[in-house]
Amino acid sequence: MDRLLKLVLVTGLVLGLAACAGPAKEGEGAAGAGGPAAGDTRRAAEAGGPVDAKTLLSDPDSPLAKRVFYFDFDSAEVSAEDRAALRAHAEFLAAHPGISAVLEGHADERGTREYNMALGERRAKAVAKLLVLQGASRDQLQTISFGEERPVALGHDEAAWRLNRRVEILYSGY
Amino acid sequence: MTRHLHIWMLAALLAWPLSGRATLTIEIEKGEADAIPIAIVPFGWQGPRAAPLDVAAVVRADLARSGRFAPVPVADLVARPTTAAQVRYADWRVLKVNNLVVGRMVETERNRFRIDFQLLDVVNGQQIAGYSIRAGVRDLRRAAHQISDLVFEALTGIPGAFDTRIAYVTVTADRRGRKTYRLAISDVDGYNEQVLLTSPDPILSPAWAPDGERIAYVSVTPRGPVIHVQNVYNRRARKLRRFPGLNNAPAFSPDGRTLAVTLSKDGSADIYLYDLKTDRVTRITRSPAIDVEAAWLPDGSGLVFTSDRGGTPQLYRIALRDGRPAGRPQRLTFSGKYNARASVSPDGRRVAFVHDHRIALLDLETLAIEVLTETRLDESPSFAPNGDMVIYATRDGNTGVLAAISVEGRAPQTLSVTRGEIREPAWSPLRRRNF
Amino acid sequence: MIAFIRQHPVALAVAVAIHVAFFAILVLSFRYSRPTTAEAPPVEVVQAVAVDEAKVKRELERIKAAERRREEKLKAMAAARKREEKRLAELRRKREAERRRQAELERKRRAEKKRLAELRRKQAEEKKRLAKLEAEKKALAEKRRREQERLARLERERREAERRRREEAARARAEAELKKKLEAEQQRLAALQAQQRRSEIDRYQQLIYAEVYRNWTVPPGARRGMSAELRVRLIPSGDVVTVDIARSSGDAVFDRSAMQAVRKASPLPVPPVESGLFEEFRQINLVLRKKET
């Protein structure tokens, strides 16, 4: 009982802190814009060719290689490390206004199909919002939800479910 | 102390002389309904070939599936009368059955049949009902379901819902893992399947129009979800106006002119009414949360829907007046972390819904919750049009199956599975009898 | 000063009056005393005779001397008279003072005597009053004593009556109690017999209840609280001879289910004929009701 209470309190505290820290972190990220990813995308932007964009996107070592972002059950909260990775995508999109991306939201099989459609959309929109806050243009982004209809893992356990609760970034034409 | 004793004895004395004259009265109070023991004797057959259908077997299966009846296995039948006149009631009393169904089928002309049957009260030794039904070869199963309906109603006081259909979605995968989705309808016992639509895109939320002729559903295309309305008979489909974002969870209004839908064109998922004549939508809910899965109250006075405005998905009710929201949504569920996908009973008093991944009933008056199923990952409950059963999707091993459970919570019956996975069942309205 | 006078005109008037009175008294007393002092002393008549000169001279001398002596003697006499007068006046004054003192004393004595007489009279009166009071007190005390005696007597009588009443009531109660006990005992015995019959009947009622309950299939479509009353006729074997609907539920399905329940439960458990209880079961009513909850 006490432990449960503590857990609830701690969870509340952490959520509260996260909520406070969120926007600040985003602002900081946008201002700092450091890291190799940012440098690479800038160079690419200077070169300004689709080939460069394609190279960047197909580089398995680039932070842009991370295109899938995972979520907790019934949650659309982007994790802290994913925020950093998304910053690279935002920079890339900002540097390549001609490139657009589709954000696909997905859910695990638990919960009702229609609710999961809405949940997938909420996740996709949460990622889109972060990308826009960090420099991408809203016109470059399209969100779509497939709910629980397109799982990548077919099991019926948490191992499968955690892989299915996701948003995928798909760069059109690449 | 002694005084009480005196009073008690006096009461006893007063009561005693009366009881000598007055008739003894015994009051028996009973709540739960036991399954009714019934015998359905194989029907007689008169025709040039073998009988095209064992009508009695269909009736037996129907009644057993309802959970309200305990039909005697054919092997235990003590006699095989086919008319009321042949019945010796004493024989059947030994079997301790309350009722007996006897009948015979005649092929009146090629592929035309007449079925005569009687429902008998074994205990009181009298006939309760007798009917004559004519049917073509294609309608024989339907005729059998109609017999089930008649027996069911005569003995339970509840209209039968055997002569109804279910719509559902099946999923099959080819060797390369490519999935094919089918929207199908069948009789409630799984026979007479008709595929209305085959698509590579996931199909969601089939919903019957009150006329039983149209079905609305969601097709999740690569460009996003879109709602269609399809005619069950001529298969003609109509794609509804598509809005940015979600176009989901359609539900026909009781008058069949409006769909309650979920759209996210204005931001988050909210409930809208879609006028099927004008293609105009009216916003019903306004919240930054997810509002989804609207279900109509049978009198059209409001909607029950799922919303996570309170932090977790819960059921809410919103009143409607002239197609507009009247008042604020009221929360209906308070226990459980996941309450969603309401299906309102035909009498508007109960809601079947998903309660922490099981099927449960919510009393709309008391808000009491009664969990019906014990399996996990149960989804998409849909009330039978007589309100006596709920059909839902569940998992059997690695595949999705349909199951039906009586509202009394009797052992659920898995429905015969077609090939592949089956999900998203929707029980049709009652059909008009065709005899 | 003037203010004082203004404030106290009466005092002033009194003061003036007193002064005037004193003055008047002084004048009057002076006037009354004058006649005594103004009284002329008696004078002696002298007889003159002619004589020789020497002789006359001697005689004269001698007369002169005699004259002188007489004058001196007169003077002395006058002085003596004056002294005497003064002494007499003093005496008179003293006598007057004494008289006044005596009068005062007399007045005081009389006043004292009067006071004493008054005192005595008062004492006598007081004594008389006290005597009277004492008499009254005595009378009152006597009266009270008599009253108390009367009350005491009454109380004694009352207590006596009460005691008698109580004794009477207790006796009556005891008799009633005894009677009641006897009656109760009779009742108890009767009740015991009735109870034995009753419990035996109850037992069979329970058995019938259980049998009908077990055989009843409540129609699921029936409303909660719906009920039907059946009139059932039984024979000593317990077999149901007839079942009639005494009060319909208004629902054919429900009524039929009730009839079926009774028929199916036949034969019903009934007490043996020898017990004399079967008659209670020859015709019974059964109410079948669908539970409210």
Q: pLDDT for B131-177, tens place per residue?
A: 999 999 999 999 999 999 999 999 999 999 999 999 999 999 889 98
What pLDDT shows up at residue C49? Answer: 59
What is the rounded end-to-end Cα distance, in angstroms, of chain A?
A: 53
A6 and A52, same domain (yes or no): no
Residue B326 has pLDDT above 70, yes or no: yes
Tell me the per-residue pLDDT of A136-164, one tens digit each, with 9 for 90 and over: 999 999 999 999 999 999 888 999 999 99
**All structural domains of chain B with their residue ranges:** 36-156, 165-427
- Residue A36 confidence (pLDDT): 43
Contacts C254 to B, Cβ<8 Å = 157
Question: Which residue of B7, B36, B123 is the best one to mutate when testing the C interface, meaning the one whose CB has the most C CBs within 10 A?
Answer: B123
**Does A11 contact B at CB distance below 8 Å?**
no
Total domains, chain A: 2
For position B419, what pLDDT does the model report? Answer: 66
Q: What is the CATH number of domain B36-156?
A: 3.40.50.10070
Q: Do residues A97 and A26 both lie within one domain? A: no
Judgement on whether residues A74 and A24 belong to the same structural domain of the protein: no
Angle between helices B140-156 and C252-265 (to 10 degrees): 80
Residues of A in contact with B338 (CB under 8 A): 74, 111
Residue with the bigger pLDDT between A1 and B39: it is B39
Which chains share 3+ C-beta pairs under 8 angstroms with B? A, C
Q: What percent of chain B has a predicted confidence (pLDDT) above 70?
A: 93
With a threshold of 0.85, tell me whether the complex ipTM lies above it: yes
* C254 touching B (Cβ < 8 Å): yes
A125 and A167 fall within a common domain: yes
Report the pLDDT value the prediction gives residue A28, as an integer from 0 to 100. Answer: 37
Look at B358-367, C70-79, C245-254, C259-268 and tell me which has the smallest mean pLDDT. Answer: C70-79
**Of the segments B212-216, B397-401, C55-59, C202-206, which one has the largest average pLDDT value?**
B212-216
Domain of residue C276 covers 216-289
Is B16's CB within 8 Å of C291's CB? no
Q: Is residue C95 part of a domain?
A: no
Contact of B21 with chain A, judged by CB distance below 8 Å, is answered with: no
Task: Quote the pLDDT of residue C53.
Answer: 64
pLDDT at B397: 77
| A9 and A70 fall within a common domain | no
Confidence of residue C246 (pLDDT cuts 50, 70, 90): very high
CA B427 to chain A, closest CA, distance in angstroms equals 18
Q: Which two tokens stand for residue B300?
A: 């059209």
A74 touches chain B (CB under 8 A): yes
Shortest distance, CA B195 to any CA of chain A (angstroms): 20
Q: What is the mean pLDDT of residues C270-286?
A: 91
Any idea what the CATH number is for the domain that residue C236 is in?
Answer: 3.30.1150.10
Residues A97 and A152 in one domain: yes
| Record: contact B29-C187, CB cut-off 8 A | no
Residue C285 pairs in a beta bridge with B25, C231
Comparing A14-23, A67-76, B261-270, C255-264, the range with the smallest average pLDDT is: A14-23
Q: What is the pLDDT of residues B333-353, one digit of tens each?
A: 999 999 999 999 999 999 999
Same-domain check for residues A65 and A103? yes
Residue of A nearest to B219 (CA): A146
What is the reported pLDDT for C87? 84
Given an 8 Å threshold on Cβ–Cβ distance, is A117 in contact with B312? no
- Asked whether residue C103 is assigned to any structural domain, the reply reads no
What average pLDDT does the structure give for chain B?
90
Count of structural domains within chain C: 1
At C243, give phi and psi (nearest 5°). -130, 125
- Contacts with A144 from chain B: Cβ below 8 Å: 222-224
Residue of C nearest to B151 (CA): C253
Whether A21 has a pLDDT exceeding 50, the answer reads no
Beta bridge partners of B46: B106
CA of B65 vs chain A CAs: smallest distance (Å): 26
Q: Which of B275-289, C42-56, C141-155, C268-282 has the lowest average pLDDT?
A: C42-56
Q: Say if the Cβ atoms of B157 and C251 lie within 8 Å.
A: yes
Q: Is the pLDDT of residue B316 over 70?
A: yes
For residues B285 and B325, what is the distance between their CA atoms, to the nearest angstrom?
Answer: 8
Contact B19 C289 (CB under 8 A): no
Q: What pLDDT shows up at residue A54? A: 81
Please, what CATH class does the domain formed by B165-427 belong to? mainly beta
Q: For residue B30, what pLDDT is reported? A: 83
- On whether any CB of chain B is under 8 Å from the CB of C23, the answer is no
B166, B212, B210, B207: which is closest to B189 by C-alpha?
B166
Residue C48 has pLDDT above 80, yes or no: no
Q: What is the pLDDT of residue C94?
A: 86
pLDDT for A43 equals 47
What phi, psi does B66 have (nearest 5°)?
A: -65, -20
Closest approach of B321 to chain A, Cα-based (Å): 26
What mean pLDDT comes out for the span B38-65?
A: 94
Domain of residue A64: give its range.
Answer: 34-171
- Do A16 and A38 have their domain in common? no
Identify which of B222, B248, B354 has the shortest CB distance to residue A117.
B248
Q: Please, which residues have CB within 8 angstroms of residue A17's CB and are 6 or more apart in sequence?
A: none
Exposed/middle/buried for C104, CB within 10 Å: 0-12, 13-18, 19+?
exposed
Q: What confidence tens digit (pLDDT) does each residue in C134-187 have?
A: 999 999 999 999 999 999 999 999 999 999 999 999 999 999 999 999 998 988
Contacts of A152-158 with C-beta under 8 Å, sequence gap 24+, read: A152/A106, A156/A109, A156/B377, A156/B395, A156/B398
**Which of A127-136, A156-165, B54-63, C62-71 has the lowest average pLDDT?**
C62-71
Q: What is the mean pLDDT of chain A?
A: 78
* CATH code where residue A79 lies: 3.30.1330.60
Q: Which residues sit opposite B260 in a β-bridge?
A: B251, B273
Closest CB to B292: pick one of A74, A115, A150.
A115
Q: Is chain A in touch with chain B: ≥3 Cβ pairs within 8 A?
A: yes
Mean pLDDT of C41-55: 60
Compute the nearest-CA separation of C245 from chain B (Å). 13
Q: Contacts of residue A151 in chain B, CB cutoff 8 Å? A: none
Task: List the structure tokens of B174.
Answer: 């080819």
Tell me if B322 sits within 8 A of B313, measured CB to CB: no
pLDDT of C228 strictly over 70: yes
Q: Cβ(A33)–Cβ(A40) under 8 Å?
A: no
Is the confidence at residue B4, as pLDDT, over 70? no
Out of B220, B262, B290, name the one closest to residue A122 (CB).
B290
DSSP string, B208-247: E-TTSSEEEEEEEETTEEEEEEEETTT--EEEPP--SS-E
For chain B, how are helix, strand and coil distributed in percent, rounded to 5? 15, 45, 40
**Residue C172: inside a domain:** no
Band (C1; pLDDT cuts 50, 70, 90): low
Band of residue C45 on the pLDDT scale cut at 50, 70, 90: low
**Same domain assignment for residues A38 and A27:** no
Confidence band (pLDDT; 50, 70, 90) for A27?
Answer: very low
Residue B425, pLDDT > 70, answer yes
How many angstroms away from the CA of A146 is the closest CA of chain B?
Answer: 7
Lowest mean pLDDT among A71-75, B139-143, C7-11: C7-11
Smallest Cα–Cα separation from B115: which of B143, B91, B149? B143
Q: Where are the beta strands (DSSP E) in B122-275?
A: 126-136, 165-173, 179-187, 194-199, 203-208, 214-221, 224-231, 237-239, 247-252, 258-263, 270-275
- When scoring B30, B36, B370 by the number of chain C Cβ atoms within 10 A, the one with the most, hence best to mutate, is B30
Is residue C123 over pLDDT 60? yes
- What would the two tokens of residue C95 be? 């006598």
**B246 → closest Cβ in A111, A113, A121:** A121
Band of residue A33 on the pLDDT scale cut at 50, 70, 90: very low
Same-domain status, A24 and A74? no
Residue of chain A whose alpha carbon sits nearest to that of B313: A115
Q: Average pLDDT of C23-47?
A: 58
Residue A43 and residue A19 share a domain: no
Of the pLDDT bands very low, low, confident and very high (cuts 50, 70, 90), residue A16 is very low
Residue A39's pLDDT band (cuts 50, 70, 90): very low
Residue A42's pLDDT band (cuts 50, 70, 90):
very low
Domain-located, residue C159: no
Ordered strands of the A68-70 beta sheet = A68-70, A166-171, A101-105, A141-145
User: What number is the average pLDDT over the span A125-133?
Assistant: 96
> Rounded to a whole number, what is the distance in Å from the CA of B245 to chain A's nearest CA?
7
- Give the pLDDT confidence score for residue B417 in this predicted structure: 57
Higher pLDDT, B5 or B100: B100
